Structure formats: C-alpha cells, structure tokens
Chain A
Amino acid sequence: MTSATSPVVRTASERRRAGSLAWHVGALLVLAVVLYPVIWVLGASFKPSKDIIASLDLLPTEPVWANFSGLADGISGISITSFFTNSLLYAVLAVVGVVLSSSLTAYALAKIRFVGRNVLFTLMIGTLLLPYHVLLIPQYVLFRNLGYIDTLVPLVAGKFLATEAFFVFLMVQFMRGLPRELDEAAKLDGCGHLRTYWSIVLPLSRPALITSAIFTFINAWNDFMGPLIYLNTPSKYTVSLGLMMFRDQEGISNYGSMIAMSLVALVPVIAFFVAFQRYLIDGMATSGLKG
C-alpha cells in the first residue's frame, strides 16, 4: 500500500513546492517595484549631486559622505537639530494629547451607560466623514484672534480635545471587546469610574493605545499643511517646513543634501514602523473591518 501511494504524495508535494516558488518570485517582483523608491533614495544619498538625477545606477559607483556632512551647516543659519527638536515636541505633545483625551472619551462611550451616549457616538463618527478643509479657515481665524499663530497650540489643541475621531473609534471598539465582568467586579469592589478607567481599562487597552500613539506620532511628524499654515518663524519650523526651506535655498543645484536631508527626515518614521509594524497593521485591519 505504501509503495503505491508514495509517488502520488511526492508529485503533490513537488507541485506545492513549485507553487510556493512561483508565489515567492511573484511577491518579490512586486516588492522590488514597491520598494524601488526607498532603495533609490538610500543609494542617491551617497551619490555626488550631479549624478543623482543623471545616473541610472541604483547604487553609487563611488559613495560620498558629502551630502550628509553638508547637513551639519544647517539651512540659512538654522541647524538641522532645531527642526528635529520642533517636530519631536509637536509629535510628543500630539501623542500625549490623543492618548489621554481619546481614551477618556472612548471609556465613556464604551463603558458608561449615560443619557445621550448613542447620539454623541453618532456625532463623533459623523466628524470622521467631514472634510477638514471646511474647518481650516474658521480655525485659523479663531487661533489668530486668540493670538496663537506661530505657536504649537493650534497644531496640538485638537489632539488634547479628542477631535481625532478615528482614534476614539479605534479605542471604543477595543474597550467594548474587553470582558464586562472585569469592570463590573471593580464596581462591586467600590471602584469609581476614574479608578476603573485608570487601573483596569487603560492597562488592558494597551494595544489600541499603542496603535493610536504610533499613528499620531507618524502623522504629526509627516504633517505638512498644519505647520505650513500656522508657523511663520523659521526657528520654529518642523522638519517638513525645513525641507521646503532647503528646496528654496538650494534649488535644483544641490540635490545631494536635499536627498540626504529627506532620508534623515524619514528615519524616525521608519524606525517607529519597524519597531511597531505589527500593532500598526493589526490596528488598521480591525478598524477597517468593523467600520
């Protein structure tokens, strides 16, 4: 019997192996196209300026450091670290704001039964679909009248006031999934809502909080329109605006340092991504499925 079946098994496993090989070849081909710009910028940052546009080689023939060492001079008297400090401050404040205010709101919507909860939840979801350009001008007028132009306040105020409905939604979905028995037991033990929120629901919601924190960090780091509208003084510029300054200053002539600066500006985003990609991708998937 065994001798009769083994050839069949072998061809099936061979076919499976061939299928697997074809799959990997296909996936790698798509991946090569997708990651080409990333690899290109890595290579280009080590090319002499004149080669960056002109050369078709992916990697530099003679790598040079000049593009990176040139960054130490800064842009029109402002050091690169200034842009990075500003962006970091913006991103950190945004993360603190979003995690605190969104989790409070989400706790109320997921765990407290109060009059009007459904209406508020619907309103909150409704803001997800609103193009934010309709708020852009009146918010600018508001912050201008309050004297907050050229500060970080307009950029982070909304984060502390839970206006990013996407994260509230993400956290509500997560908190609803937590076992009811836990907060009911806490209630029986005499815990108030603040205590239940802080010591039970918040620690258990860590995956949702981390997802929101990383997305917020990356969004703030990448944010371009916000700083473009609200920041005027170059010393207060974030990395995105610093990059634009670079373009104005150096123009097309100095592609090398522009590309090097672009790459350096991407480092925090890529680092965050590599470290936390599992949370990010799962967060993205769940928010899409339940939406």
Chain B
Amino acid sequence: MPIHNRDKFLSNLAANLGRPRKIEGVERPEYSVQPQYEVLQGASQDELIDVLEKHCEVIHTDFVRTSKQELPNVVRQTIDRYEAKSIIVSNDKRNVEYGMDQAYNQYAEELDMHIWDASIGKENQVIAEKADVGISFSDITLAESGTVTLKNDKNNGRSISLMPKSYIAIIPKETIVPRMTQAAKQIHDDHVNGIETPSSVCFVTGPSNSADIEMNLIVGVHGPVNVTYIVVD
C-alpha cells in the first residue's frame, strides 16, 4: 500500500483544530493583495531583455544576444571560449527550428558531441559528468531574477545543465516573462487543464555557488562553474 497511517494522522490534526476532517471543499481565498503581478508589469519584450541582461552581472553569468542566423556561430564561440572539447546537448525539437542540428553535426568533426539519447540509459549521465559543456533550451525565462526554467523530460535530462563544467542556455526571445509568477501560473494552469507537471522543473539562476567558507562567494561547488545565456531574437 503506497500511503501509510494517513487517517489517524490527519484526524489528529483536525481534532486539534477543533473541527471535523476536511477532504474536499476547501477553496483558496482571494488574497487581499497580489504584489507579484506588479513587478515589471507592462514592460515590453525588449525592456525585459534589458532587465535580464543587467541581472546577469549580479549572478555571474555571461549574456549574449544574437539572431537565429548567427546562433550556431555564437554557440561555437562560447564553446571555444570555454576551451571545451566535449559537449552534451538535449535532444530538443527546437534544435532543428534553430538550425542547431546541422551545427552540432558540424561541431562533431572537431569536438566530442553527444546528443541526449534515451535508448542508452544511464550512460548519458556518465557522458554528462565528463562533458566540458552542456547545452539546452530555456522553456520559460524570468527577466527579474535572470532565471532559465528547464522542464526536463526523456529527451532533456536534468544532468545536461548540472554535471558539465559549463552550461549554455539558449533563450528564445518569446520565452521571456517578467518573473517567476508567470512561470508558476503557467504550470498551475497546465495542471488544472490536465497537463501533467514534468517530473522535474528546474529554475536555474547562474552558476552553482556557495558562501559556506567564511562567507566568501565560491562559484561551481557542485554544478557548473560557468554559465552563458544566449538570447535569440
């Protein structure tokens, strides 16, 4: 049985609250204030990109803005800047749409390229662990905090953004929203409309860091040491 001790546990809570147990019929109240929707309200997409760019300085993340045509070159330049030899990328439909499928073929002539492949199982993790760079698309991008939202699935493993030494996020311009409010609303609405929540949603804001040693900021404690965002118009 997958649920243990529930009835006794919950009855005790209800008793302490001095009422019978509630199993249905609870509605979220209209909260008296909703400040979260006021942040960057009415900002244009270009203004949001400016906010994102500015916040990248705070979160130790490199920011590049480019066109669809230039994207393969810009990604390649970033890889070279990291002096990377091995790359792991998501098997994303958008690879074709953004011309990255051809680019990856081309890079493969000189670099060790791996496209996430569900059929080889855990081997993907081993490859990710050794890779110099991981590359994937942002699903929702939060301007205010400089965050990429990664909805992981079988073609886009969590390891890609996490295990390699450097991470590159490709950010389609239209994925940019003011803040986490809009991302949470989208996932909430999806759930209400019967679309399953992904098994993992990661909000990644720059490189992994820690302030645990004398409060010095150290970058790359567990996850990537370098992060670049590439916004594509």
Are A and B part of the same complex?
A: no
> A residues near B, CB below 8 A?
none
